[in-house]
C-alpha cells in the first residue's frame, strides 16, 4: 500500500504553529567502493520501526535505534511506527527490513557478508537536527567499529 507522505506529514504536524519544513540537502557525501560488492561487508539500516523481541517501542520524536541480530526470525520481530500503515510490514517485514533478502545475497556471494547486527529506527517524524546530530553519528560509529564497507538504507 503506497503512503502519501506529503499529506500524511502535513496531517501529523497540523497542530504546530508552523508548517513542516522539508529538509533540503545541497550535497551528499559519496564515497566510491574500494573493492567489489562481492567482497564487501554490507549493513542493513531501516527507518521502518523494526524491534527485536522485547526491545522498547519507538515513540514520537525518538532519535534512538535498535540493533537487530541478522539471525533474527520473523517471530522475533515487531514493528511500531506511526508514520505509515504497518499492516503489510507486520505480514512481511522484508518490505521495510529486507534482512532475509540480504542473507540470500550473502549465501549467493553477491555481497561479501551481511553485517551483524542490522539497524532500525523510526524515521520521518522527528527533527532533521536530531537525525544529523544524534542518530546518524551513533549509527556511523557502530558501522565503523564493525568495519562495514557499505550500507543499504531502506526508508519506510
DSSP state of 145: H
B/e letters for 45-59, b = 16+ CB within 10 Å, e = fewer, are: bbbbbbbbeebeebe
69 is a domain residue: yes
Q: Domain range for residue 73?
A: 35-154
- CB 60 within 8 Å of CB 123: no
**pLDDT at site 126:** 61
**pLDDT at site 20:** 67
C-alpha dist (Å) from residue 88 to 36, 63, 85, 92 = 34, 24, 8, 6
The C-alpha atoms of residue 79 and residue 6 are separated, in whole angstroms, by 22
**pLDDT at site 26:** 78
H-helix segments, the chain: 5-12, 87-91, 99-107, 128-130, 136-145
80 is a domain residue: yes
* Residue 118 bridge partners (DSSP): 68
Positive or negative, the CA dihedral 31, 155, 127, 148 is negative
- Number of domain units in the chain: 1
Residue numbers of the chain with a pLDDT score lower than 70? 1-3, 5, 19-20, 124-126
14 is a domain residue: no
Global pTM reads 0.83
145 is a domain residue: yes
Amino acid at each position: 500500500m503506497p503512503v502519501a507522505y506529503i499529506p500524511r506529514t502535513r496531517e501529523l504536524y497540523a497542530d504546530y504553529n508552523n508548517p513542516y519544513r522539508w529538509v533540503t540537502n545541497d550535497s551528499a557525501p559519496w564515497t566510491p567502493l574500494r573493492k567489489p560488492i562481492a567482497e564487501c561487508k554490507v549493513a542493513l539500516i531501516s527507518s521502518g520501526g523494526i524491534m527485536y523481541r522485547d526491545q522498547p517501542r519507538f515513540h514520537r520524536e525518538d532519535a534512538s535505534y535498535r540493533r537487530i541480530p541478522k539471525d533474527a526470525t520473523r517471530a522475533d520481530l515487531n514493528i511500531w511506527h506511526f508514520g505509515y500503515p504497518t499492516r503489510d510490514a507486520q505480514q512481511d517485514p522484508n518490505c521495510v527490513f529486507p534482512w532475509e533478502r540480504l542473507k540470500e545475497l550473502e549465501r549467493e556471494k553477491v555481497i561479501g557478508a551481511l553485517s551483524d547486527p542490522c539497524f532500525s529506527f523510526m524515521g520521518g517524524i522527528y527533527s532533521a537536527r536530531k537525525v544529523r546530530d544524534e542518530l546518524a553519528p551513533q549509527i556511523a560509529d557502530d558501522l565503523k567499529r564493525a568495519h562495514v564497507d557499505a550500507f543499504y538504507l531502506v526508508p519506510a
